[in-house]
């Protein structure tokens, strides 16, 4: 699934390519993708695209008269600027010379579009926290969110109502860079650790954006993440072997020396037998 850095790049490139364009046609080919009813998608006709923004993993297209289209690619949604549609295409906004295609591969059709007048209805519907790249994302915000939090850090960090845009890949890297145990509970984090956590979130995401920018000019969600350190064989800081543990629905990568005080975690699937 694309996460904040991949989506940020696509947003930037869409801004360069289609802002100021007028909507000439709109087609809903596969109704599953459109989750809102009012206003009708035909309301986009004749409107100018004024801005493209991002919050978390959502891309927001803002048109005249404050009509906004909110798009989430989920697992395998992707965008294309092309004249020709493909069998993956669910929704089309035509700007005349080029079409913005909302596509999705695979059988699981879960990518989403909402169209609203204004933005309030959307944010009432979806609980989305402060975007980690926004200026309002501060150490105080993290402290406030973590102080009563009984869940472990790896769960909190992928909660979109607190850290929107962060998913499994960057979660592992952020905790590693911050030298924090993924298994530590939110309320157990002290001020010094919050500082490390905050710096790591900013550094990991900004560094990823810089790395992905080097790849090409397209609007692909590039999930080539070989620049992430936690998915290597050994820790670049202490040369210990990086361990991983599979827990229900998520794989956690960590350096036992730098993050967990030497503690090794066992897969929950097998833990009954290993005890």
257 near Zn ion, judged by CB under 5 A? yes
CB of 201 or CB of 235, closer to Zn ion: 235
Residue in the shown chain whose Cβ atom is closest to Zn ion: 235
Q: How many residues bind Zn ion (CB under 5 A)?
A: 7
Tell me which DSSP letter residue 48 carries. B
CB of 203 or CB of 257, closer to Zn ion: 257
Angle at 53 between CA 39 and CA 132, to 5 degrees: 125
Cis peptide before 39 (omega within 30 of 0): yes
Q: Exactly one of 123, 187, 227, 237 binds Zn ion (CB under 5 A); which one?
A: 237
CB of 125 or CB of 238, closer to Zn ion: 238
Q: Exactly one of 9, 49, 142, 235 binds Zn ion (CB under 5 A); which one?
A: 235
C-beta separation of 10 from 221 below 8 A: yes
238 near Zn ion, judged by CB under 5 A? yes
For the bound state, the minimum distance from the C-beta of residue 193 to Zn ion, rounded and expressed in Å, comes to 17
258 near Zn ion, judged by CB under 5 A? yes
> What size, in residues, is the chain?
275
Cα(113)–Cα(141) distance, integer angstroms: 29
CB of 69 or CB of 235, closer to Zn ion: 235
The DSSP H or E segment spanning 108 is: none
Stretch that binds Zn ion, among 58-66, 114-122, 250-258, 263-271 (CB under 5 A): 250-258
C-beta separation of 21 from 50 below 8 A: no
CB under 8 Å to 15, separation ≥6 — which residues? 51, 52
Binding site for Zn ion (CB under 5 A): 235, 237-238, 240, 255, 257-258
């Amino acid at each position: 699934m694309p996460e904040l850095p991949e989506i940020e790049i696509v947003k930037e490139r869409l801004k360069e390519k289609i802002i100021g364009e007028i909507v000439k046609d709109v087609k809903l080919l596969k109704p599953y993708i459109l989750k809102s009813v009012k206003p009708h998608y035909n309301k986009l006709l004749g409107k100018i695209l004024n801005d493209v923004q991002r919050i978390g993993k959502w891309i927001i297209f803002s048109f005249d008269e404050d009509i906004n289209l909110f798009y989430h690619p989920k697992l395998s949604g992707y965008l294309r600027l092309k004249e020709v549609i493909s069998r993956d295409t669910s929704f089309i906004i035509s700007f005349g010379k080029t079409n913005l295609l909302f596509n999705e591969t695979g059988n699981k059709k879960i990518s989403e579009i909402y169209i609203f007048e204004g933005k309030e209805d959307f944010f009432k519907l979806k609980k989305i926290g402060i975007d980690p790249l926004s200026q309002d994302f501060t150490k105080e915000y993290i402290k406030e969110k973590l102080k009563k939090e009984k869940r472990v850090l790896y769960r909190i960090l992928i909660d979109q109502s607190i850290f929107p845009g962060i998913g499994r890949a960057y979660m592992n890297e952020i905790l590693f860079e911050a030298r924090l145990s993924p298994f530590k509970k939110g309320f157990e984090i002290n001020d010094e650790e919050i500082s490390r956590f905050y710096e790591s979130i900013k550094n990991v995401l900004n560094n990823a954006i810089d790395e992905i920018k080097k790849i090409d000019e397209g609007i692909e969600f590039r999930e080539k993440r070989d620049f992430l350190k936690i998915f290597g064989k050994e820790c670049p800081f202490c040369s210990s072997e990086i361990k991983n543990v599979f827990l229900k629905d998520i794989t956690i990568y960590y350096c036992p020396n730098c993050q967990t005080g030497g503690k090794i975690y066992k897969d929950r699937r097998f833990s009954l037998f290993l005890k």
